[in-house]
Structure 1
């Protein structure tokens, strides 16, 4: 049966697909169109989301890996004219030209997108099919996955084929994680719903035409509309799935390298962090956990007891110390590994055309590839993961999952290698996530993988930007890569902090700058080849003390960062956000790839050149304050911000609430019992609001179960009286009955004459020392222009008045 399906995929066509309408039928959310070449279905999943699925006769169709949403109830109106049909929801209108068949999409009276030729198919070396669309004159296109091409990818042509790019820096057209999807400045998002090897041509060959093509796969695309870019993301992630809320520990610090060779070394690095009082939450073990050297052992996927004699005890001891252990795994099983015969007997290895397990050579040895698309492959692979989880392994690292080597004649359960290549990592993540939720229902899965497909985020996939060169050139594109992926649901994309590949000598300044940037990226994981230590504990005391306040800041920001994670799980909003979100009418901001928003409150500009004493920052409008010295900036101009080795440009938006917690050495000890709430006041902001999400940090589906608390903050300037209202709602196990809250009002230009909490007078003390040891008091610091008010927050609603 498998080979029969494969042979169907080689049916080829010479002519372009110029179908003619014959008949139609409206069935619920779908309009079914019969043509002289096959069927076309138009299915509305939401008012603003429609799929066009062409099904030409004789063309094999693979399932959609991207779409997870079931069509919602959408009221559709259908009108017919002699030469066309018009199908409309409340948000979108599709005009269907009958002869030749051609689709155009409108939002109100505005044309969003039109098929140029629409679906096409023709014969080259392999059957190619895809779609062509007309581009408008000034349209900008973002997306395509991991590329280093600039934010606007219009004018580029690139492969749709996940492929490793070892040691990349300032340019790359093909990398680990491609996405057959774009977001347009015309406020639509287009997904080419196809897992096969292909190509995207975004106006490179023909300036006014966008084309997606692939070697087989699925002949469908999805158009998503919205009134804003965040709404596009919301609608798209409702369709493809949203990232589940991760465990709180995943936002902490990771010790990671290539790699720790023994149990003693792994224990020692954790102890080093503890001795130096540098926070740590995770330990990542690379491939030496199952073998003494790089080659010959991949596929063992069992502890090398010579190097790790007591793995269960090690895992238990680390867990007791607040350390979560993550192990690397790969989908390759070497013929020299201890499990090769076991995997063959279980029919877990993808076969070749002869039906026998397919073997081939690559860097690590002679190997086969686990068929994650087959029931046998999944069953065999999962039993290994299950055993490790039972031992106490907290997270999965899936490496080389493009797959890094994937011969064309590899046969998978549902298709040939090139048909399913881009969905391999996606299917792998699905297997791990689904089985984790079934067999370990009390645990939030952690799944870090290098490659996937649209929708992989719904399996909790945490991607990274691959084997970046350890150089200033490697640091430069990291914001671009993160922003480009975050627009399509991958909110936890991050880089190997410090750079991974190469680098003959330690570049102290580069290392510091990369780790400073890392405080404001989703995952804080320094990782590199071991000849230069990626962990800060192994560097000189000056490097450590320069970075200590930054790592501490990462932990103090846990309430803010965890709230970003909550928001991402609810709307798909990325943690790192592009500046054009602030002014959607400014096309120049779309090109900005050197700075970004960290949530709503922060604007961050990493330093990517050595020796800088100031750094240019593009202001997106509004009022902003320097996080370090309180300097006020306003407008839409580009400003040079003075910096030292201890600072990078970090600005905070006027009107922002930033909750921060007490410093801990592990999130195991995290508590919001003592909370500092920063508010950045400015005369330009008359009212503002913020929120903070809290739960126990580990219960799966805490939001769906209602096991969480929301803290809401409001500000109003009422004729010179500053009114702060604090509200709390919800409940979860371990929730504090009350909180010692310190409200810090920044940019407070004068000593207040009166402060009250719920009508009760609050004493303004003259010295910080008295403020620190007293309760329900206030203190004003003239030097920093900060007012601090300390209260006991018990009630569901409390009000602070300052005048």
Structure 2
């Protein structure tokens, strides 16, 4: 064989030599096309071309028997099929992506001499009998079809699908490749990428799934090391491949992108509501080295009038150096002498303590022998702990797949929670180093590191989440982790984008990374604000621009190496004065942001949304990665270059308003805005309702009894609506048990009249009985002649101070063109008429 003189190495992090036979589709030499053709021909010889023999229906499952094994097609909903090829004598693993539920879905099966057709209300699969391969339709529209179905050869297994002309593909999780990933080939192997900037083919949180502009999503439900090839090797072929693992995939259809996402999370799991404090401000760095330093930092936030909800302790809480102490997982009493009192003192100030944990137990740590004696660590082939060296020292890896090992790990979390820890930060969970020959014990199976690698962080999050629900059943878990698998959102996972470079080049890809993750279920993906890695001197503009962007992303957490302080309180007065107002804006927006969290938990709709949602027919919009929607109301354009004097914004159709000035713009055009250091370009959609409150020091003080409701009026917008969600911020079963309230807003505008309808629905124990509401109507051209509340008139005042002192009144500010109406909302339903 003419390739025999080449030694081929895996692109995976462990750098294990592998044979050409095991990875025939690796693209290893140039020129690309001749090698790709060879690969295509060789792969055709690996295909086990199955032949249909018979079939049967078992509830929501169609079982197809073939000459090389069974194939099951299971309807997980009316819009999703799991397709599980089960070739004979092939090791399989359970699904990690799918929720373990029973689904009552009616299947319609039609048998013809050449095909077998199975359908639900929204999805149809046509199975060609000879050779056996499957095509998927929504109505009469072809979504996607197998080229060869399953291919299987030694340690290489996977699927090949045909791509259609002009088809675009989003997916793969964290990669910096552009929004459309078609034409790329990349590893399915979660791996740290320290200091990344504007290009990265392999990162912390890969997702073996894609979403297509053909209105479907496809999940490769396989946790093993592998590759995703989206028309790179062969331009019209999408290929998933892995060195082992489950030979299954999932097809999901939808009427539009939000519907695809909803159908996606229906079967992979919905993100539980986070604790409300997760939407507040975090003090975080690498790292606070002493209790005294941590206390002084928290006090500085409060003294300098910066709201604060959490302090995050990096690895120094269990050791006084970076190396040698990982795995202690207990307080270093020399540097943190009174940790329980410290956490209690913070809690009294409304500040929660989040502790870092890692899955590595160093042989130099205090818990090494305990971990060995309790059989906690992944094994080698001799049944002993698999030891290896990495940056932090000589170590073993906790086997989170093993129930007994997880019980040992959970006991540590339980004890720290009793001491006062409020949340968990799981770091290095790719795992950062994971020998391919590690042996894990999973449900009675002996599984190698390569077979299970991509599900490690997923299983770790599952263990932490379920343990937290057991020990604190009335409290929402907070679990921040940087790696996982499809479906990790159902364990409350809050991912971040890893150790990004502290540079403009590091800021540029952050929108792309969060959008890509949010489209596939991980709606709380955020960045280390300000950048994490490197940086020699403080760049004021970069720092301010990054933290401004952070106000309109899921989690506001500045975090960095401490050679430059990541917290705004340690910088110059101008920086602090600008960013104090942005942190307070974050808190003022809590009613709006919390309502986005509610929507995400119901439907999977991400908090950050791509602009192509606005016009699904325009495929060119898919490529936009530098602006996005925050919810439905805000269009955000982060500034990612220094020294700009102006910036262009592409406005969608409709009417838009500059958030800072209320200047009105007609949509469907590109506008130029002059830049200012204290202004992030933010536009508000005409017809939007935005509920807000006065900022508080901590979400412990949050209350919606006094509420501001902004409405952006325009004569061109005849009707619009909005919803605000409210609960106690703590109850993990609030949605399930209907222990919440929704405030519903509706607007009807005619030429000379605006009607606003307000409705309250639901209840929870601590909800406000009434609300002091200020309605702010933006873009109102003149003072109101008449304001009626449930047909009762209220006074329209000309003096601002008199209005401020009044309990119920109206006031029009001529300069801002904002009409303010203040009143008590005590009845369930209110109707306002403004003329």
TM-score per shorter chain, which class? over 0.9
Out of 111, 115, 132, the position equivalent to 1:101 is 132
CA shift for structure 1 position 681: 0.5
- Report the equivalent of 2:109: 78
Contact 2:305 2:580 in 1 (8 A): no
- In structure 2, C-alpha distance between the alignment counterparts of 1:360 and 1:760, rounded to whole Å: 77
Matches within 5 A, 1:543-558: 543-558=575-590
Contact 1:779 1:788 in 2 (8 A): yes
- Report the equivalent of 2:6: none
Out of 155, 166, 186, the position equivalent to 2:183 is 155
- Report the equivalent of 2:686: 654
- In structure 2, C-alpha distance between the alignment counterparts of 1:79 and 1:730, rounded to whole Å: 46
Matches within 5 A, 1:569-648: 569-648=601-680
CA shift for structure 1 position 636: 2.4
- In structure 2, C-alpha distance between the alignment counterparts of 1:489 and 1:634, rounded to whole Å: 33
- In structure 2, C-alpha distance between the alignment counterparts of 1:684 and 1:166, rounded to whole Å: 49
CA shift for structure 1 position 401: 0.2
- In structure 1, C-alpha distance between the alignment counterparts of 2:675 and 2:764, rounded to whole Å: 43
- Report the equivalent of 1:129: 157
Matches within 5 A, 1:365-514: 365-414=393-442, 415-514=447-546
| RMSD of aligned alpha carbons | 1.1
Between Structure 1 and Structure 2, how many residues are aligned?
790
Question: What's the secondary structure of 2:323's corresponding residue?
Answer: coil
TM-score by length of 2: 0.94
- In structure 2, C-alpha distance between the alignment counterparts of 1:83 and 1:801, rounded to whole Å: 66
CA shift for structure 1 position 385: 0.4
- Report the equivalent of 1:36: 67
- Report the equivalent of 2:285: 257
- Report the equivalent of 1:283: 311
- In structure 2, C-alpha distance between the alignment counterparts of 1:282 and 1:719, rounded to whole Å: 48
- Please tell me whether residue 792 in structure 1 is matched to residue 820 in structure 2: no
- In structure 1, C-alpha distance between the alignment counterparts of 2:281 and 2:450, rounded to whole Å: 38
- Please tell me whether residue 56 in structure 1 is matched to residue 87 in structure 2: yes
Contact 1:44 1:71 in 2 (8 A): no
CA shift for structure 1 position 226: 0.5
- Report the equivalent of 1:6: none
Matches within 5 A, 1:138-177: 138-177=166-205
- Report the equivalent of 1:3: none
Contact 2:531 2:559 in 1 (8 A): yes
Question: What's the secondary structure of 1:62's corresponding residue?
Answer: coil
- Report the equivalent of 1:354: 382
- Please tell me whether residue 91 in structure 1 is matched to residue 91 in structure 2: no
- In structure 2, C-alpha distance between the alignment counterparts of 1:684 and 1:72, rounded to whole Å: 45
- Report the equivalent of 1:4: none
Unaligned residue ranges in structure 1 (runs of 5+): 1-10
Contact 1:555 1:663 in 2 (8 A): yes
Range moving further from structure 2, 505-514 or 611-620: 611-620
CA shift for structure 1 position 71: 4.3
Contact 1:121 1:128 in 2 (8 A): yes
- In structure 2, C-alpha distance between the alignment counterparts of 1:739 and 1:714, rounded to whole Å: 18
Question: What's the secondary structure of 2:730's corresponding residue?
Answer: coil
CA shift for structure 1 position 69: 4.8
- In structure 1, C-alpha distance between the alignment counterparts of 2:753 and 2:667, rounded to whole Å: 26
- In structure 2, C-alpha distance between the alignment counterparts of 1:797 and 1:727, rounded to whole Å: 4
Contact 1:358 1:369 in 2 (8 A): yes
1:97-145 deviation per Cα after TM superposition (whole angstroms, max 9, x unaligned): 001001000111100000011110124xxx1100000000000000100
CA shift for structure 1 position 615: 1.1
CA shift for structure 1 position 764: 1.1
Out of 15, 36, 49, the position equivalent to 2:46 is 15
- Report the equivalent of 2:259: 231
- Report the equivalent of 2:699: 667
- Please tell me whether residue 766 in structure 1 is matched to residue 798 in structure 2: yes
Question: What's the secondary structure of 1:710's corresponding residue?
Answer: strand
- In structure 2, C-alpha distance between the alignment counterparts of 1:73 and 1:271, rounded to whole Å: 55
- In structure 2, C-alpha distance between the alignment counterparts of 1:623 and 1:717, rounded to whole Å: 14
Unaligned residue ranges in structure 2 (runs of 5+): 1-20, 23-42
Contact 2:797 2:811 in 1 (8 A): yes
CA shift for structure 1 position 89: 1.1
Question: What's the secondary structure of 2:389's corresponding residue?
Answer: strand
Contact 1:333 1:339 in 2 (8 A): yes
- In structure 2, C-alpha distance between the alignment counterparts of 1:652 and 1:642, rounded to whole Å: 17
1:702-747 deviation per Cα after TM superposition (whole angstroms, max 9, x unaligned): 1111211110001012453210011001111221111110000001
Out of 262, 268, 275, the position equivalent to 1:240 is 268
- In structure 1, C-alpha distance between the alignment counterparts of 2:294 and 2:538, rounded to whole Å: 22
Question: What's the secondary structure of 1:201's corresponding residue?
Answer: strand
Range moving further from structure 2, 421-430 or 66-75: 66-75
Contact 2:715 2:750 in 1 (8 A): no
- Report the equivalent of 2:574: 542
TM-score by length of 1: 0.97
Contact 2:715 2:751 in 1 (8 A): no
- In structure 1, C-alpha distance between the alignment counterparts of 2:168 and 2:526, rounded to whole Å: 25
Contact 1:197 1:419 in 2 (8 A): yes
Question: What's the secondary structure of 1:413's corresponding residue?
Answer: strand
- In structure 2, C-alpha distance between the alignment counterparts of 1:96 and 1:325, rounded to whole Å: 54
- In structure 1, C-alpha distance between the alignment counterparts of 2:669 and 2:133, rounded to whole Å: 44
